[in-house]
Amino acid sequence: MSFRKLTELRGTQSGPLFIVASGPSAREFPLARYANIPMVALNGSIRLFVDAGVSPYFYLCDDSSFVRNRLPLLKEAIGNARNLALGPRVIDSLLQHEPHALDGRCAYRFERINRPTSDRAALGDRRFAWAARRDGDLECRFSCFRQKPNRIGFSRSMEKGYFSGRTVPYAGIQLAYHLGFSRVFLVGLDLDSSLGRFYEQGAEAVPSRLDGDYEDYILPCFRLMAERVVGPHFRVCNLSLGSRLPGSVVPKIALDQLDDLLACS
């Protein structure tokens, strides 16, 4: 099947957007109350949407292991979401299991930054660092000598790819910026592996790499976003008051503050 390009949607939206992750605090969010506002479902958070009878504007999945471990949830997302943004390995794995799963669906390939595609080759670290430094769509720590700083970044254009940040909500924020939303509210961004995901119980829980990635990639990426991307025309707030991510990096708000902020969006 053919996939649509996210370039056609750049700047087509405005106003607020909810990005719903899978931390336990997501269960406390009254999703149906805000169903009139566009939302992005991430990985297993689609379960909240199905239970509430709400169709997300986008469903985003960039983890091929989710296909192996949670195929029923992915199929629920395919049937429920208006648009799908799927990583190439997710697409390949899904179509191996279900060759016709995406037939008739509005699906977009969701590519990571500086990865080889059908129409471009990946750059070496030094060439990428130099090119990104001069690209207004990209923010990056940049290094011509070390690989790691070039993994810390933010992309304003999904045509050029996204920085993974080692956590899918970070990819969702970049998608939100690309689409044109100006106020992003994060739901279920707890970032605490000891709490698990709200849709998993006991022995069925899939191990998380969050703890190993938090200090090296997750926190530095959110800090870069706070320093270089967030401003008067693009703001991000976290509805998880107990989130591991400091409020000094992404402001935390209580649910009772949300309506006032939405009125100002």
Do the domain assignments include residue 230? yes
The per-residue b/e assignment along 127-136, b for 16 or more CB within 10 angstroms, e otherwise, is: ebbeebeeee
Asked if the model's pLDDT at residue 201 lies above 70, the reply is: no
Q: Is residue 113 part of a domain?
A: yes
Q: Which alpha helices (DSSP H) does the chain contain, by range?
A: 46-52, 64-69, 71-80, 88-97, 125-133, 168-179, 210-213, 219-228, 255-264
Residues 6+ apart with CB under 8 A from 22: 42, 43, 44, 45, 188, 197, 198, 199
pTM exceeds cut of 0.85: yes
Q: Is the pLDDT of residue 258 over 80?
A: yes
Q: How confident is the model at residue 233 (pLDDT cuts 50, 70, 90)?
A: very high
- Look at residue 217 and tell me if it is in a domain: yes
Listed range (95-99, 188-192, 209-213) with the worst mean pLDDT: 209-213
What is the tally of structural domains in the chain? 1
Whether 155 is covered by a domain: the verdict is no
Give the orientation angle of helix 219-228 with respect to helix 168-179, to 10 degrees: 20
Is 114 a member of any domain?
A: yes
Question: Residue 149: what pLDDT?
Answer: 67
Select the more confidently predicted residue: 204 or 85: 85
Q: pLDDT averaged over the chain?
A: 91
Q: How confident is the model at residue 210 (pLDDT cuts 50, 70, 90)?
A: confident
Enclosing domain of residue 249: 6-122+164-264
Residue 139 lies in a domain: no
Rounded Cα gap, residues 50 and 258, in angstroms: 23
Q: Is 253 part of a structural domain of the chain?
A: yes
